[in-house]
Amino acid sequence: MSKFIGSLEKVLLPFAVKIGKQPHVNAIKNGFIRLMPLTLAGAMFVLINNVFLSFGDGSFFYSLGIRLDASTIETLNGFKAIGGNVYNGTLGIMSLMAPFFIGMALAEERKVDPIAAGLLSIAAFMTVTPYNAGGAYAVGANWLGGANIISGIIIGLVVAEMFTFIVRRNWVIRLPDSVPASVSRSFSALIPGFIILSVMGIVSWGLATYETNFHQIILDSISTPLASMGSVVGWAYVIFTSLLWFFGIHGSLALAALDSGIMTPWALENVSIYTEYGSVEAALAAGKTFHLWAKPMLDSFIFLGGTGATLGLILAIFIASRRADHRQVAKLALPAGLFQINEPIIFGLPVIMNPVMFIPFILIQPILAAITVTAYYLGIIPPVTNIAPWTMPTGLGAFFNTNGSIAALLLALFNLGVATLIYLPFVIISNKAQTEIEKEESEEDIANALKF
């Protein structure tokens, strides 16, 4: 086992470290972290609209037997305009906001003016955006929402790199030191801005002659093929996050490109479709499809207590462990584990580099993913149509992410039970192994271990 772990570490560790330090991956990750307030605020209003203000046929409260008269339902539907407006100003403009924060984050990595890079990224995005919606001189909402977010990511990265290239060659206007810094900064971004936006304007003009635009090309050449690879991306994320974590590498951060660049945009697209049609059934009837591997799906049904479904490990320790130290670690880790934070149990037990825990920690996520995918295709659970905070407790996250599905809540709890059962024998083995180690440890071994 030790040779196998050592060989695996030699293969994975350099790759994971390299990816984790890659500036473009970091820029995407940090950009989406900064977008989180918009994402969560918009998601909360989507939840309010689609669950707490919905009492018609097929709604959550209707399924519980709660019936309201038609006039009351109409009044409540009127209040949905508030949430709709908030959606338009948050999740509805994610593709517009992404280039600003991603461009700013990459500029910080490159040690150039982040605000200027972020503003130029938004300007570039709008420069290549067609102003034509149904024959009117307007920007189509389809270019601003989650479905077009990959276009926003690319523009943010490209503009920040162009800005860095120009600034480092000193193609800027330098004003005397006596000029206020705010004014000097504006002039220093003038030439880079002129060059970058000129290039974007030429690109937009050139593509328009072929009756297309930058966003459409990205959708046709990148977004659509990626959507068809949903299962590949999802399974890769499920398998490698826990594998990397076992070796002490933050799997979610190392694979941030799959999360922020692919699966979170899929979640945003699901929310957009659901918001437009009002229900999964109506959207499907209109020929729309939902992404299974949206990131909240993993948070709801697989990452139960964090990577490796370690809330199941904590419960297994309470059930089967007779070691006071393990139970104490579990008690300390439980509050965090309930809210999907598992560093206390991963580092406290520890799980990292623990050969006994290797098998369950690596296998549980694919098993839970298989259960979830099966339930989805059997029609037991609906697709993810909301984005609840990832810190939602197990069960509640699934409930809110599916806009009130009791079946989703029950599946999440069932998956937690499966994870607990898988961990149980390994907790018992771990107890026995640790007891044997302590029996064999002499006073001389302890003394040597305490030496510097």
User: How high is the pLDDT of residue 438?
Assistant: 58
Is residue 61 over pLDDT 80? no
CB neighbours of 17 closer than 8 A, spacing ≥ 6? 249
Is residue 449 over pLDDT 60? no
Task: Tell me the pLDDT of the chain averaged across its residues.
Answer: 84
pLDDT tens for each residue of 329-385: 899 889 888 888 887 888 778 787 677 888 899 999 999 999 999 999 999 999 999
User: How high is the pLDDT of residue 352?
Assistant: 76
Smallest CA-to-CA distance from 80 within 114, 48, 34 is with 48
- Checking phi first, is residue 308 left (phi over 0); if not, alpha (psi -120 to 50) or beta? left
User: How high is the pLDDT of residue 226?
Assistant: 62
User: How high is the pLDDT of residue 193?
Assistant: 95
User: How high is the pLDDT of residue 450?
Assistant: 40
Alpha helices in 22-113 (DSSP H): 23-47, 60-63, 70-89, 94-110
User: How high is the pLDDT of residue 166?
Assistant: 95
Is residue 1 over pLDDT 60? no
Taking residues 298-317, what's their average pLDDT? Answer: 94
Buried b (16+ CB within 10 A) or exposed e, 173-187: eeeeeeeeeeebeee
pLDDT tens for each residue of 433-447: 666 655 654 555 445
Q: Indicate the range of 105-119, 226-240, 321-335, 381-395 predicted with least confidence.
A: 226-240
User: How high is the pLDDT of residue 308?
Assistant: 93
Pairwise CA distance, residues 279 & 283, whole Å: 6
Contact 58, 277 (CB under 8 A): no
pLDDT tens for each residue of 141-198: 889 987 788 889 899 999 999 999 999 999 988 777 777 777 777 778 899 999 999 9
Smallest CA-to-CA distance from 274 within 117, 402, 375 is with 402
Q: Which amino acid is at 342?
A: N
Q: How confident is the model at residue 18 (pLDDT cuts 50, 70, 90)?
A: low
Is residue 5 over pLDDT 70? no
pLDDT tens for each residue of 256-300: 778 877 898 899 889 989 988 888 999 999 999 999 999 999 999
Is residue 432 over pLDDT 90? no
User: How high is the pLDDT of residue 248?
Assistant: 60
**Range from 46-60, 384-398, 433-447 that averages highest in pLDDT:** 384-398
Contact 217, 145 (CB under 8 A): no
Contact 173, 193 (CB under 8 A): no
Pairwise CA distance, residues 326 & 318, whole Å: 9
Three-class secondary structure of residue 378 per DSSP: coil
131's tokens: 């102003």
User: How high is the pLDDT of residue 445?
Assistant: 46
What pTM does this model have? 0.71
pLDDT tens for each residue of 200-238: 999 999 999 999 999 999 878 876 676 666 678 889 899
CB neighbours of 84 closer than 8 A, spacing ≥ 6? 49, 275
